[in-house]
């Protein structure tokens, strides 16, 4: 089969090349991993149009940015600062206060959307509740921990001129059916585009004082977490199947999500397999111990193995790169001893214990961890 590579593939070719590969290798690895697409006339034409569209979009955005440059000084974001008698302000409004005001507008929305594009390929949009969880933490930290400086497109001496590569970016925005407010960050750049319907688009440099992360790398962590949660299937319909089969199906939907993560994700794996499944745990407890175990979890001991059960499993997984390996190295995770014999080289393994409950006709995992 002929495929067009969308990424560099070791020992095969570079991004953009058309190469011949074995059909099985293409269908089981290249195509599902989105490393390439079949070189059909339609796909070749689509790629050609996408490249032309990217170039056109970049030119349009650059032109719009330059046009807006003259208006940036008039752009306003409403801020509240302390003032003395006669309305005289104590000090001046800092770039940090501006960035905080912008992020506050996002946090005030009922929901935020995260959209990721890598090399012009879009990945699933992820919804985030700005009122709870990591979304609020990440956004507040971006505003307060990074150093923000307004960027003037009219200054060609700026070392970051021209516009960053548009094909790989991450956008955090309010729903499109409302007055859109967004922050857009770009791979390998510290430039941030900030937009609201009242003032238009403004540009900033946002730099990590420790020099560790770009804004893109920072918000990509939030996307990775949201994407994994969205991909995971936590329930299995009750069809009268045995508990071992329930756990196997749950593993495919829950832990199998690692293989569906976008390239570059801190959770991206190329291989996942659940083994050593033991269900109907804890089967060694006496009646008193089982009663105590169930009560701590709001369960009925008499319903053990009927409407709830515990289980244990080992998960073998192969991180896609060193970044994913480092990110997933936690708890009782370690290198799999038989890697290279009955699993791919580099395979890791961890063990988990969990609780499965029958809720509204579905087996739902309500607790998982390294122990109980």
The C-alpha angle with vertex 295 and arms to 292 and 300, in degrees rounded to 5, equals 110
Give the C-alpha distances (Å, rounded to integers) separating 362 from 15, 96, 250, 300, 309: 44, 48, 11, 18, 13
Q: Between these two residues, 276 and 39, which has the higher pLDDT value?
A: 276
pLDDT for 278? 94
User: Range with the lowest mean pLDDT among 36-50, 149-163, 212-226, 315-329?
Assistant: 149-163
Confidence of residue 325 (pLDDT cuts 50, 70, 90): very high
Mean pLDDT to the nearest integer, 223-243: 94
Phi, psi of 153 (to 5 degrees): -65, -15
Q: Which two tokens stand for residue 265?
A: 């994700």
Question: Does the pLDDT at position 199 exceed 80?
Answer: no
- Tens-digit pLDDT profile for residues 2-27: 888 888 876 677 888 888 877 766 77
Mean pLDDT to the nearest integer, 114-131: 86
- Tens-digit pLDDT profile for residues 264-290: 999 999 999 999 999 998 888 999 999
Confidence of residue 77 (pLDDT cuts 50, 70, 90): very low
The C-alpha atoms of residue 246 and residue 258 are separated, in whole angstroms, by 19
Mean pLDDT to the nearest integer, 138-153: 79
SS3 state at 165? coil
Q: Which two tokens stand for residue 99?
A: 């960035």
Confidence of residue 95 (pLDDT cuts 50, 70, 90): low
pLDDT for 90? 38
Q: Between these two residues, 58 and 350, which has the higher pLDDT value?
A: 350
The C-alpha atoms of residue 113 and residue 345 are separated, in whole angstroms, by 37
Question: Does the pLDDT at position 83 exceed 80?
Answer: no
Residue 372's Cβ-side half-sphere holds a number of Cα atoms within 13 Å equal to 17
pLDDT for 182? 83
pLDDT for 73? 47
DSSP H helices, the chain, are 23-25, 41-69, 95-107, 133-145, 215-231, 243-254, 287-295, 322-328
Residue 312's Cβ-side half-sphere holds a number of Cα atoms within 13 Å equal to 9
Confidence of residue 253 (pLDDT cuts 50, 70, 90): very high
- Tens-digit pLDDT profile for residues 151-175: 776 544 555 555 677 889 999 888 7
Find out whether 151 and 201 touch, Cβ atoms under 8 Å. Answer: no
pLDDT for 112? 82
Question: Does the pLDDT at position 291 exceed 80?
Answer: yes
Question: Does the pLDDT at position 86 exceed 80?
Answer: no
Give the C-alpha distances (Å, rounded to integers) separating 160 from 7, 183, 190, 205: 25, 18, 8, 9
């Amino acid at each position: 089969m002929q495929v067009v590579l969308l990424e560099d593939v070791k020992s095969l070719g570079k991004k953009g090349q058309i190469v011949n590969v074995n059909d099985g290798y293409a269908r089981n690895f290249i195509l599902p991993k989105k490393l390439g697409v079949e070189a059909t006339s339609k796909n070749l034409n689509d790629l050609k149009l996408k490249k032309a569209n990217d170039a056109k979009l970049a030119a349009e955005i650059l032109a719009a940015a330059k046009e807006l440059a003259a208006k940036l000084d008039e752009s306003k974001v409403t801020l509240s600062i302390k003032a003395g008698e006669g309305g005289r302000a104590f000090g001046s409004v800092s770039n940090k206060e501006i960035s905080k005001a912008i992020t506050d507008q996002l946090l005030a929305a009922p929901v935020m959307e995260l959209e990721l594009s890598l090399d012009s390929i879009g990945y699933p949009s992820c919804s985030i509740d700005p009122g709870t969880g990591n979304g609020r933490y990440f956004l507040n930290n971006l505003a307060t921990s990074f150093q923000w400086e307004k960027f003037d497109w009219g200054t060609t001496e700026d070392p970051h001129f021209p516009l960053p590569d548009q094909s790989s970016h991450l956008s955090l925005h309010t729903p499109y059916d409302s007055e859109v407010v967004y922050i857009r960050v770009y791979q390998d750049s510290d430039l941030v585009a900030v937009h609201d319907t009242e003032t238009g688009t403004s540009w900033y440099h946002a730099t990590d004082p420790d020099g560790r992360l770009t804004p893109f790398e920072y918000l990509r962590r939030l996307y990775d977490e949201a994407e994994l949660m969205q991909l995971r299937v936590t329930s299995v319909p009750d069809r009268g199947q045995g508990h071992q089969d329930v756990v196997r199906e749950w593993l495919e939907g829950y832990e199998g999500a690692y293989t569906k993560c976008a390239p570059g994700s801190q959770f991206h794996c190329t291989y996942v397999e659940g083994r050593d499944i033991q269900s109907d745990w804890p089967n060694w407890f006496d009646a008193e111990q089982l009663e105590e175990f169930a009560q701590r979890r709001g369960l009925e001991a008499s319903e053990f193995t009927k409407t709830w059960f515990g289980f244990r499993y080992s998960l073998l997984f192969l991180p896609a790169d060193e970044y994913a390996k480092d990110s997933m190295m936690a708890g009782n995770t370690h290198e799999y001893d038989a890697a290279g014999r009955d699993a791919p080289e580099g395979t890791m393994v961890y063990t988990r214990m969990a609780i499965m409950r029958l809720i509204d006709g579905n087996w739902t995992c309500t607790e998982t961890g390294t122990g109980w």
